[in-house]
Structures are given as structure tokens and as C-alpha cells.
Amino acid sequence: MRFDATIDYPADVDTVAGMLADEEFVRRKIAASGALDSTQEVLREGEAFTVTTRRQMPTDQVPSSFRSLVGQSLDVRLVEAWEAPHPDRSRAGTLSLDIVGAPVRVIGRMSLQAGPGGGTVQSFSGDITASVPFFGKPIEKAAAGAVDQVLAVERSIGLDFLAGR
């Protein structure tokens, strides 16, 4: 299942990229996600950076008919890899989300572009795949809803973070 989403931030691209690579911002995102336990790593290579998080998530967002397939919690690994800025300061990146022990995967592209009024538009596009015979589409649909919720939380945390800088 395809997904596309955007988040608008009232700050320039360099500031938003700095926020995305900030360990405190990453901690706040994880806390707001409801993770039961987590680890995080921000790896910088010049102006490029990669944020890797691993979260133990409750299964309350999993449709009840599928909870027996995943157990008491989900082990979610998310890798967000951002390239160094282009000459116009825009950025591109990739994301990969895997749920350990579940046949669900999210892969996609991300970008940061200058938006109206000096702001930034963060865009996401990608595919959600669930390789479960007969149940793949409902699982993908549920995962797409979870992605929307995660991005709404990220936007809220990002706006608070930028307001406090």
C-alpha cells in the first residue's frame, strides 16, 4: 500500500534538519509514541546523518483480530538516513521500518524542501507491505493508519521543539 504525507514546519531547512538529528528531539518523539522501552542512535557523517531507533511498542494499535499473531508487544526498528544538503540546502533521505517477528515492512523516501514564508516542508512517500496470505491488505491498511498517527505526533513534538529553541 502506498503512502504520501507532509509536515510543515515554521523554520528553515537547516534548522529542521538540525532538529531531526537532535538526540533530545528523538527522545521526545520516542516518549510520545508510547514506547514501553527504546534505544536510539544518531550517527553523523559530515552533514549527513542517520537516526536509528528501536522501540518496544504496545499492541493496542494492532486490530484485535491480528493481536494473537504479534504477541504482547512489537519490536519496531526505524532507520532514517538523511543525505548531506544539496546546494539549495534541500535534503533527501530514506526510511526503513521493520517490525521484528511480523511480516510488515515500510520503506520510503523523505525530503526537506524550503516552503512558503521561510518554512520547511518535510515530505514522505513509500510503500507498506504485509506478506500475510489473505490478511495482507487489512494489515497494510492498519499500518497506514499507524503511520498517519506517528506523523501527527512527530509534527506536534517538532512544533513544540522548534518553539522552545
pLDDT at residue 6 in the model: 93
What is the per-residue pLDDT across 2-50, written as a single tens digit (0 to 9) for each? 889 999 999 999 999 999 999 999 999 999 888 888 999 999 999 999 9
Largest CA distance in the chain: 50
Higher pLDDT residue, 49 or 116?
49
C-alpha cell at 43: 550517527
Residue 153's identity, in one-letter code, is V
pLDDT at residue 19 in the model: 97
**In contact, 143 and 125? CB cutoff 8 Å:** no
pLDDT at residue 130 in the model: 76
For residue 134, pLDDT over 80 is answered with: no
What is the per-residue pLDDT across 51-99, written as a single tens digit (0 to 9) for each? 999 988 776 655 555 555 555 667 889 999 999 999 999 999 999 988 7
Domains of the chain: 2-163 (3.30.530.20)
Question: pTM of the entire structure?
Answer: 0.85
